[in-house]
């Protein structure tokens, strides 16, 4: 099958247009795998898609799926396709669940109805962002890790571990993860401290990428507790410098009905422009890859 592929945005992303049949499940897996490894962000346009098709397509490239603890699930998807419904405002740049030990390899988005105005999903190439940071700031982030704090109620941690999981299962899992400290409250909620690098190695190629949840977590619950791993504060000046470096790297996915996006969560940060159109319908899946 011949694919028409063109560059997307300022980074390594690619846009794949339909040439011939509109069944995305017929696309050659080996070609998509090779493209994704080099691009990190692939958008498929012109194909017939749906939340279930996205799940089936993602399943070809995944060993298992993860969930977002806040989003409602779509019926018939085994709970692993969710509707993106959390607010209509601007979403800060972040790597998905990089504030926790449950970070997936990839995220998938499928557009059913785009917003009439705004609502674009935003993307930043973390490899290029790291290259743009001045040497002194790079050294700071190499020397100090990020420290995040999270609270997972009983129903929320089951979204990560599975509905049949027990508290003992969660504790066994967390005990084996580097950088994790936790406390179980009497109501079975888990308070989690997670320490991780700000700069990570990409899954494909082993490049340095500034792909983390630094910017988004400052706005979230317990975000005021976030710090470097030595307890020192992450100053507004540091944050402003990162934000300034990101300005020239921002790419916007102006959604078309049926678009499907496949994003490398070890390389790209993503966010969203604000919108007001209540008809907007975007679905997501999170997965761990098989290649």
CATH code, domain carrying 48: 3.60.130.10
Do 17 and 96 lie in a common domain?
yes
Do 69 and 213 lie in a common domain?
no
Instruction: Give 5: exposed, middle or buried? Use CB within 10 Å, 0-12, 13-18, 19+.
Output: middle
Nearest C-alpha neighbor of 93 from the set 215, 202, 200, 198: 215
Do 103 and 156 lie in a common domain?
no
Choice among 41-50, 202-211, 216-225, 264-273 with the minimum mean pLDDT: 216-225
pLDDT of residue 86: 79
Query: Based on the structure, what is the number of domains in the chain?
Result: 2
Do 103 and 34 lie in a common domain?
yes
Do 25 and 111 lie in a common domain?
yes
Model confidence at 163: pLDDT above 70: no
pLDDT of residue 176: 86
Percent of the chain with pLDDT over 70: 94
Q: Supply the range of the domain harboring residue 182.
A: 130-245
Do 26 and 109 lie in a common domain?
yes
pTM here? 0.93
Model confidence at 66: pLDDT above 90: no
pLDDT of residue 162: 65
Model confidence at 111: pLDDT above 90: yes
Do 237 and 170 lie in a common domain?
yes
User: What is the per-residue pLDDT across 166-212, written as a single tens digit (0 to 9) for each?
Assistant: 889 989 999 989 999 999 999 999 999 999 999 999 999 999 999 99
State how far the Cα of 92 lies from the Cα of 165, in Å rounded to an integer. Answer: 32
Do 30 and 86 lie in a common domain?
yes
Q: Which residues contact 59 (CB under 8 A, 6 or more apart)?
A: none
Do 179 and 109 lie in a common domain?
no
Do 12 and 122 lie in a common domain?
yes
User: What is the per-residue pLDDT across 120-132, written as a single tens digit (0 to 9) for each?
Assistant: 999 999 999 999 9
State how far the Cα of 202 lies from the Cα of 215, in Å rounded to an integer. Answer: 19
Do 211 and 69 lie in a common domain?
no
State how far the Cα of 243 lies from the Cα of 97, in Å rounded to an integer. Answer: 20
Do 92 and 134 lie in a common domain?
no
The mean pLDDT of the chain is 93
Model confidence at 219: pLDDT above 80: no
């Amino acid at each position: 099958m011949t694919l028409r592929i063109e560059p997307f945005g300022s980074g390594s992303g690619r846009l794949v247009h339909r040439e011939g049949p509109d069944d995305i499940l017929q696309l050659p897996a080996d070609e998509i795998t090779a493209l994704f490894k080099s691009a990190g962000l692939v958008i498929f346009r012109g194909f017939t898609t749906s939340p279930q098709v996205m799940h089936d397509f993602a399943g070809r490239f995944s060993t298992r799926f993860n969930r977002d603890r806040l989003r409602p699930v779509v019926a018939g998807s085994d709970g692993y396709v969710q509707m993106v419904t959390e607010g209509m405002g601007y979403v800060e740049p972040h790597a998905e669940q990089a504030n926790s030990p449950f970070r997936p390899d990839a995220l998938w988005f499928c557009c059913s109805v785009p917003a009439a105005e705004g609502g674009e999903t935003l993307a930043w190439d973390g490899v290029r962002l790291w290259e743009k940071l001045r040497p002194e700031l790079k050294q700071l982030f190499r020397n100090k890790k990020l420290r995040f704090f999270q609270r997972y109620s009983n129903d929320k941690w089951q979204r990560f571990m599975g509905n049949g999981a027990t508290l003992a299962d969660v504790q066994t899992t967390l005990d084996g993860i580097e950088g994790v400290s936790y406390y179980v409250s009497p109501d079975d909620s888990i308070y989690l401290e997670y320490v991780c690098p700000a700069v990570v190695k990409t899954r494909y190629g082993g490049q340095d990428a500034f792909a983390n949840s630094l910017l988004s977590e400052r706005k979230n619950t317990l975000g005021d507790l976030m710090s470097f791993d030595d307890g020192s504060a992450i100053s507004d000046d540091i944050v402003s410098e990162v934000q300034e470096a990101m300005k020239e790297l921002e790419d916007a996915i102006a959604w078309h009905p049926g678009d499907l996006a496949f994003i490398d969560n070890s390389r790209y940060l993503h966010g969203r422009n604000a919108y007001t159109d209540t008809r907007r319908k975007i679905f997501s899946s999170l997965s761990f890859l098989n290649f």
